Amino acid sequence: MRQRMVRESGGRPQECNGGGSGRTRLGGQDRFADQEEFSRRTLAALDFPVYGVTAGPARCGEALAAFETCGGDLRWVEVQCGDWSSVAGPYVTVRTYRPGAEQGEPLPELEDVVEDERDRVYEQLGVDEGDGPGRVRALREWITVDGEPCAVEVHEDRPVAPVGTEPARPVWAGRLRVGGLTVTVCGRGVDPGGVELGVIADFERYLVGRTDLLRDLAARRARSVPVEERELPAVIGLEAHRELIAQSIAETAAIEAQVRAGRTPRLPRGLRGEACAVRWEAAVRQQMRLATETREEAAAAVTSMVNHLNRLSQQTHWLIGTPAGEAAVEEVVRYTVFASAVASLPAQRAWEQLWRERPGGGGAGVWEEHRLAEQLWLSAWEQWRAARG
């Protein structure tokens, strides 16, 4: 069984100042004590050395970033240090894999390590540095490990930032062998040659840093107003539904394109985040108003609508970029909101049954019924398209 403690998004520990941990108790009760103790017990079972930054411009703000266990054993441990709150850095992460970890499953490509770092900046700081790869360089650098220079191949990426945003900052990632261990290092705002690594003898400050990270994240979330409680710009007619569908289909197409290109599926940053949540909320509110539905009913209707057109875009070649596709989207929207007697009514009803009776498990017979229902739904759409001429 695999278990992972992932990085938290949306917040990081206090800015690097070389001072104390600044630990406080919220409401007289430390809500993160259990999590810290769990991490402490997990790291106490370490049976391989873990590396961290021992010198350089990022040597402050240490925190446990993440770890993963498999079958009760730690597979890797990652620590971070530096100024998490600055796009310019300096900021470094170091992930140490247990010996033989790469035999269980492939290690992430260095390109994906860089994209993970750009995801962190987008989620925590709201800065979109563009989707990679951009201007990529393969470099041979030296990182000091236990006082000795160690050669490392480095992947550096300088994506082209979207128009109107600040210039993208170079981010690099490298992987090196230290004894029988594999260590991955990722940095921004500091050159690989400026990073010195050493074995972590005491994890206490990293555990405290992790707790401060979680506390800071919780405080930031508490200060933000949920999308459901905000006043949103007024929408006209069915435009909110159309915008949500366009976003959803673009998401599906982007993921499929990455899979075809042999890349790790990763939703482009421009298609996620708060703007997407706002589109969803706007569509649900308009559904409530136009269809006279409760929030629960409206959310269910919008969910079905989005899944309907997502599935249709995956199963057909004509939904995107054709007049028939535009007409299909319009009819799905109108049926969702007004239950209109659209020309594609048989397909709409076939989808309702397919969505309502989607299997959550069951044997081969259940899935065979689902497959036949899907064929009937697709056939209804093809008959609609043929009738259009």
Query: Is the Cα torsion angle 46, 82, 147, 170 positive or negative in sign?
Result: positive
| Beta strand spans in the chain (E) | 2-5, 51-55, 63-70, 73-82, 91-97, 135-145, 148-158, 171-178, 181-188, 196-199
Q: What's 83's DSSP letter?
A: -
| Separation of alpha carbons 315 and 309, rounded Å | 10
Question: Domain check: are 47 and 153 in the same one?
Answer: yes
Question: Domain check: are 146 and 247 in the same one?
Answer: no
Phi, psi of 212 (to 5 degrees): -60, -35
Using DSSP's 3-state secondary structure scheme, residue 93 falls into strand
**Can you give the pLDDT at residue 272?**
73
Last residue of a domain, one of 208, 223, 238: 223
**Can you give the pLDDT at residue 129?**
82
| Separation of alpha carbons 291 and 1, rounded Å | 45
Task: Give burial (CB, 10 Å; 0-12/13-18/19+) of 184.
Answer: buried
| Separation of alpha carbons 261 and 263, rounded Å | 6
67 - beta bridge partners? 5, 77
**Can you give the pLDDT at residue 159?**
66
Question: Domain check: are 98 and 126 in the same one?
Answer: yes
**Can you give the pLDDT at residue 5?**
54
Question: Domain check: are 157 and 197 in the same one?
Answer: yes
Last residue of a domain, one of 163, 198, 223: 223
| Alpha-carbon separation of residue 62 from 12, 40, 82, 200, 274 (angstroms) | 11, 15, 7, 11, 29
Question: Domain check: are 237 and 383 in the same one?
Answer: yes
Neighbour order of strands in the sheet with 51-55: 2-5, 63-70, 73-82, 91-97, 181-188, 171-178, 148-158, 135-145, 196-199, 51-55
The pair of structure tokens assigned to 305 is 């609508």
Last residue of a domain, one of 223, 243, 268: 223
**Can you give the pLDDT at residue 27?**
42
**Nearest one of 10, 106, 16 to 56, comparing CA atoms:** 16
Contact 249, 298 (CB under 8 A): no
The gap from C-alpha 148 to its chain's centroid, in whole angstroms, comes to 36
Question: Domain check: are 212 and 277 in the same one?
Answer: no
The pair of structure tokens assigned to 110 is 């260095």
Question: Domain check: are 57 and 115 in the same one?
Answer: yes
The pair of structure tokens assigned to 133 is 């790869």
Question: Domain check: are 213 and 269 in the same one?
Answer: no
pTM: 0.70
| Alpha-carbon separation of residue 349 from 18, 106, 127, 296 (angstroms) | 63, 44, 43, 21
Max CA pair span of the chain:
75
Contact 269, 131 (CB under 8 A): yes
Question: Domain check: are 217 and 241 in the same one?
Answer: no
Within 10 A of 214 (CB to CB), how many other CB atoms are there? 18
**Nearest one of 306, 303, 317 to 256, comparing CA atoms:** 317
Please tell me the total number of residues recorded for the chain in this structure.
Answer: 389
| Separation of alpha carbons 334 and 348, rounded Å | 11
Contact 86, 74 (CB under 8 A): no
- Can you give the pLDDT of all 389 residues of the chain as single tens digits? 445 555 544 333 322 333 333 333 344 346 788 889 999 999 998 999 999 999 888 788 899 999 998 888 899 999 999 988 888 889 999 999 999 888 878 899 998 899 899 888 888 787 888 766 556 777 788 999 999 999 898 998 876 655 666 666 789 999 999 988 999 999 999 999 999 999 999 999 999 999 988 888 778 777 777 777 777 777 788 999 999 999 888 888 777 777 777 777 777 776 776 778 889 999 999 999 999 999 999 999 999 999 999 999 989 999 988 999 999 999 999 999 999 999 999 999 999 999 998 876 666 667 788 889 999 999 999 999 999 87
Domain count, the chain: 2
Instruction: Look up the domain containing 179 and give its range.
Output: 2-223
Question: Domain check: are 118 and 245 in the same one?
Answer: no
Question: Domain check: are 218 and 282 in the same one?
Answer: no
Question: Domain check: are 200 and 239 in the same one?
Answer: no
**Can you give the pLDDT at residue 21?**
36
Phi, psi of 137 (to 5 degrees): -125, 140
| Separation of alpha carbons 254 and 311, rounded Å | 14
Phi, psi of 12 (to 5 degrees): -145, 170
